[in-house]
Amino acid sequence: MKIVDAKVVVTSPGRNFVTLKLTTDEGLTGLGDATLNGRELAVVSYLADHVVPLLTGLDPHRVEDTWQSLYRGAYWRRGPVTMAAIAAVDVALWDIKAKAAGLPLYQLLGGASRERIGTYGHANGRDIPELLDSVRARLAEGYPAVRIQSGIPGLKAVYGVSDTDESGAPVLHQQARPLVEDWDTAAYLRHVPAVFEAVRAEFGPELPLLHDSHHRLTPVQAARLGKDLEPFRPFWLEDCTPAENQEALRLVRRSTTTPLAVGEVFNTVYDYQALITEQLIDYVRSAVTHFGGVTPLRKLFDFAAQYQIKSAIHGPEDISPVGMAAAVHLDLAVHNFGIQEFSGHTPLTDEVFRHAYTFTDGHLHPGEAPGIGVELDEELAAAHPYAPAYLPVNRLHDGTVHDW
């Protein structure tokens, strides 16, 4: 079997998605997600200008060799643009291999290790009463665990979350320049324990509660927050510091028993090396899409398993249904599965990317369709062309730029 066609499809059914589609001489097709939120066209160029010309004529069964040649052969290794491009090729090849075998991808990864995949949803509120309503809505949708984020008195933005419409769907800011949000770390650190206290008081001790600090704290601030949240038994504290400084997590870890989750902006195992071998974290959070695909993420999970660290694949709305499908197959197969983030997509997005995976009673299953189980409607995709959009930027009261 040979690859005879490779093309990059950009579509914006409400937000931008970049998809690689490979076709073989036997008529099999494979899809891979290459969406890098806010920097989409850089990956389009990387793929179209530098990778697509290398793919024609390749045997699609050679997944590992193709991955290694794209990673090592470029000389310029790592980084989100490179690894999103490699991820798209890797997932498209796995898709073809599994279709050729007539099996859903998870069967090629060792088969199911569980019946279904537990998820967590996002609950957001401008204040605590609005957050409590949002938690109630997620529980009504069946989510077994909830990430709680609340606005902070004195700040306009509900940090780190998209604006939502009445139905809870994210509202995108498709504009030529990023939205500017505000931030005050001291006010945040005062408020978050009260948020947990209110949610625990309303929903009891059993509901798993997660919280995301969006890389905004110093190590000593993160340690303080971890200690303050201990009485409320969080499921995890996510991205408490900018963890490309891996040493920062040593101080946090020594100071608190609050579980730590890290890695949605990481691209390779080297970003995790100290965090895993020193057991400084409890969950690895990389997405298939931004980590180079199923091939390296499976290796990361196996590495993490030796240290009792679990998987928690990043799953916001900007991971396309193609990237989500690949994640769900991995989730079903790996032994050290922890939890899967899942927000779902708009009905139009689910029409452009028809998928076999299902979300029932707060749990995902990849389905039994051969491959990853996603079909791209190219006509509908073309009817919704790329629209420039940025993630917000974040500034302190005095105007200083802070992490978003």
Residues that bind Mg ion (CB under 5 A): 212
CB of 41 to Mg ion, least distance (A): 24
Contact criterion met (CB below 8 Å) for 146 and 207 = yes
Separation between Cα atoms, residue 96 and residue 30, nearest integer Å: 5
Contact criterion met (CB below 8 Å) for 303 and 284 = no
Amino acid at 288: V
Report the chain's C-alpha Rg in angstroms.
21
For CA atoms 85, 282, 308, 324, give the dihedral sign. negative
Residue 40 or 212 having the CB closest to Mg ion:
212
Q: Decide: residue 76, CB within 10 A, 0-12 exposed, 13-18 middle, 19+ buried.
A: exposed
Q: At what angle do helices 248-255 and 219-229 cross, to 10 degrees?
A: 20
Active site residues: 159, 214
**Tokens representing residue 300 in the block:** 């990361």
CA-closest candidate to residue 282, choices 304, 266, 302, 314: 304
CB of 15 to Mg ion, least distance (A): 17
> CB neighbours (10 Å) of residue 105?
27
Q: What is the residue whose two structure tokens read 């500034």?
A: 395
CB of 368 to Mg ion, least distance (A): 31
Contact criterion met (CB below 8 Å) for 225 and 217 = yes
CB of 314 to Mg ion, least distance (A): 7
CB of 316 to Mg ion, least distance (A): 7
Residue 8 or 83 having the CB closest to Mg ion:
83
Residue 95 or 212 having the CB closest to Mg ion:
212
Residue 95 or 341 having the CB closest to Mg ion:
341
**Tokens representing residue 393 in the block:** 């930027």
Residue 300 or 381 having the CB closest to Mg ion:
300
